[in-house]
Amino acid sequence: MKLGYHRVSSASQSLQIGREALLAAGVEEKFLFEEKESGKATKNRPQLKALLKSLRKGDEVIVHKLDRLARNAKDLLTIAEEISKAGASLNILDLGINTGTPVGKMILTVLGAVGELERAYINDRTKAGIKAYQKNGGKMGPKRLAVDRKIKVLAKGGLSWSEIADEVGCSKQTVYRRLHPQKADEHREADLERYYRDKNSEIS
C-alpha cells in the first residue's frame, strides 16, 4: 500500500502542490497524511506519528520533498529507521531516493555516516568553545548555564547559528536575539510600528 505524507509550516501555506504530486505518484486520497505544522520536532507532528503507527510490512511511504519530511540528516535517518522497522520503504520523490532499492539503501547509509560525522564535529567544536571560554576566565555551573549564556559560549567557540540552534534546541531567531539583543529590540519596535500604522490605515 502507498501512503503519502505532506507538510507545510504555517496555516497560510497551501498543501495543494504536494498533494497533487503524491496523488500523481499513485497515493489514494484516503491514504494522504497532511498537516500544517513546524518540522522542528517529530513529536509535534500528529499526522506523521499516525502514519508511522499505521505502517504494515510491504507499505511504501511517499513524500514530495525531503524538507517536508525532515529538517536534517539526523531527522531523516530517525524517521527512515522507524519506517524500516515496520517492514516498509521510503520514497522521496524530489531526490529519487527509494529505500526499497539497493541504491536507495546505500544513499541512506551514506547520509547516516555524514550525519554522524557532522554531530561529532559539532561536539568537538562545542567542547573547544567551552574550554576557550573557561580559559579566558569564564565561569560555568548549573545555575549559570542558562540558554543565553550557552549560546554565547558556543558562538565564541566558532559555531554557526544553525549549529548553535541544534545544540541548544532552539530556533536560529532565538540565537540571533541572544547574540544581538539591541538589534532584536530595534526589529521588534519597527514591526510593532508597522503593525499599528497598518491598523490605523485600515480604520481610516
Determine which helix (DSSP H) or strand (DSSP E) holds 3, and give its type and residue range: strand 2-8
pLDDT at residue 136, rounded to an integer: 67
pLDDT at residue 203, rounded to an integer: 45
DSSP string, 132-182: HHHHTT----TTT--HHHHHHHHHHTT--HHHHHHHHTS-HHHHHHHH-HH
pLDDT at residue 143, rounded to an integer: 40
Indicate the domain borders of the chain: 2-100, 108-199
What is the reported pTM? 0.55
Query: Cβ(9)–Cβ(38) under 8 Å?
Result: yes
How far CA 35 is from CA of 42, 43, 196, in Å, comes to: 12, 13, 32
Instruction: Kindly state the greatest CA–CA separation across the chain.
Output: 65
Clarify whether 9 is annotated catalytic.
Answer: yes
Catalytic residue among 9, 38, 162, 171: 9
pLDDT at residue 191, rounded to an integer: 56
Per residue in 11-33, pLDDT (tens digit) is 667 788 889 999 999 999 999 99
Residue ranges of the chain with per-residue pLDDT less than 50? 141-145, 199-204
3.30.70.260, 3.20.20.70, 3.40.50.1390, 3.40.50.10540: CATH of 2-100? 3.40.50.1390
